[in-house]
Structures are given as C-alpha cells and as structure tokens.
C-alpha cells in the first residue's frame, strides 16, 4: 500500500495532517532524511513555509486540502478525469464524492449552509478535469433551497432520480444515499451485516479509496 510522506517544520500542520490521514485510513510516514525517501511514498505533504524538496510535493497550510490533492497520486495519477458530488437533500444532507468511480468521501452535514461550504471546499480541494454535482429529486423544499444556494455560489447541480437510494429503510443513511446518487445507480447488494455501520455498507457497495489504494 502506498504511503503519503510528511515533511514539515510546522508542528501544528504535522499533527493536523496526521489526524486527517488517519481519519481517511491513509498510511503516512514522516520524512527526516531527504537523501533516502521510502520507495512507497508517491507524494509529500508540507506546509507553505517549508522549502520545496521535490516535484511531487504539496505545500499548503490546510491539512484537508493537502490530503485531497494527494489522493490522485496514491492512485497513480496527478488529477482525476471526473469528480462527481452526490447530494441526498434534507435538513441534514448527505454528501458523497466520487473520483473516477472511486468513492473518496461520504458524510452528513448538520445544515444546508454547512453543505454549501463543504461543496465549495471539495471543489477547490481536489484536482480534476471535469466536475459535476448531482442532487436527488426528493424532499422538494430542502432540495430547492440547496439548489438556490448552490446557484448563488456559482454551482449548478443536476437533479436525478433518487428512487430506492434509501433502501432498505432500516439502515437508511444520508451519506450512503448520497453515494448512490453520485454513482447514478440504485442497484446494490442486499447487505447481510449484523452490526450495521456506514463504512460496512460503503465497503460492500463501492470501490472505496482504501480498496483502490491496495488494489
């Protein structure tokens, strides 16, 4: 499995980026000896104040942005051909991000305002050739409010059929529904999971980032 290298003299940035990488289950290694870089390190993350040490190095003070820019390198590319954001509309919307059919993120936000801000940072954080947003057709009041706010932010989503994306209802999860909306398919295996967790369903249905990195 490829790792992300961390080279920085910024103590705060180091701990922030380590925590973000852990939350995404991406392995990392601290770079101390510049003459002996590990062979499994495809990209190095540093803060803006750190010196440039190699071509494949990302320098930014945002840990989350650094990780988002680094992800394509873990998959053998510098940028994605296509990034799709799926939205499950509601008072607590679900968001999911697909990069070249790999599920990169899936989470729920507490409000429509938080959703718009999240999409702004996602759009700015990843590197890609094309970018699109898909939103489910249900929950019309919240859906229309989301569309209005996205358009005001310069982003126009496509309304898509979200029928069956919340099935089965006993394990309904807004983030899972958003991932299905982004994928554009409501066909999925019947989960045979005793203790349901969001991660279990996503791992069952999608090519997740962890699967793609280890493939």
Domains of the chain, with CATH numbers? Answer: 3-74 (no CATH), 80-214 (3.30.420)
Neighbour-count burial of 25, counting CB atoms closer than 10 A to its CB (0-12 exposed, 13-18 middle, 19+ buried): exposed
pLDDT of residue 88: 94
The whole model's pTM is what?
0.88
The counts of H helices and E strands in the chain are: 7, 9
- For the ranges 18-22, 25-29, 201-205, which has the lowest average pLDDT? 201-205
| 39 vs 129, residue with greater confidence | 129
User: CA-to-CA distance for 42 and 75, rounded, in angstroms?
Assistant: 9
The tens digit of pLDDT for each residue in 71-100 reads: 999 999 999 999 999 999 989 999 999 999
| pLDDT bracket for residue 191 (50, 70, 90) | low
pLDDT at 37 over 90: no
The tens digit of pLDDT for each residue in 106-127 reads: 999 999 999 999 999 999 999 9
């Amino acid at each position: 499995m490829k790792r992300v290298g961390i080279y920085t003299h910024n103590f705060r940035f180091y701990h922030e980026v380590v925590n973000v990488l852990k939350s995404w289950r991406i392995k990392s290694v601290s770079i101390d000896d510049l003459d002996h870089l590990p062979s499994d390190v495809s990209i190095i993350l540093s803060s803006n104040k750190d010196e440039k040490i190699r071509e494949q190095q990302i320098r930014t003070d945002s840990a989350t942005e650094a990780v988002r820019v680094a992800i394509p390198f873990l998959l053998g590319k510098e940028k994605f051909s296509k990034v799709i954001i799926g939205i499950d509309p509601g008072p607590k919307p679900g968001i999911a991000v697909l990069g070249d059919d790999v599920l990169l993120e899936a989470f729920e936000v507490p409000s429509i305002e938080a959703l718009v801000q999240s999409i702004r940072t996602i759009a700015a954080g990843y590197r890609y050739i094309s970018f699109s947003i898909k939103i489910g057709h249900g929950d019309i009041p919240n859906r229309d409010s989301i569309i209005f706010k996205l358009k005001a932010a310069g982003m126009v989503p496509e309304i898509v059929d979200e029928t069956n994306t919340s099935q089965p209802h006993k394990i309904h999860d807004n983030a899972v529904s958003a991932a299905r909306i982004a994928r554009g398919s409501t066909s999925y295996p019947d989960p045979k999971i005793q203790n349901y967790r969001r991660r279990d369903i996503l791992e069952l249905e999608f090519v997740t980032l962890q699967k793609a990195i280890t493939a």
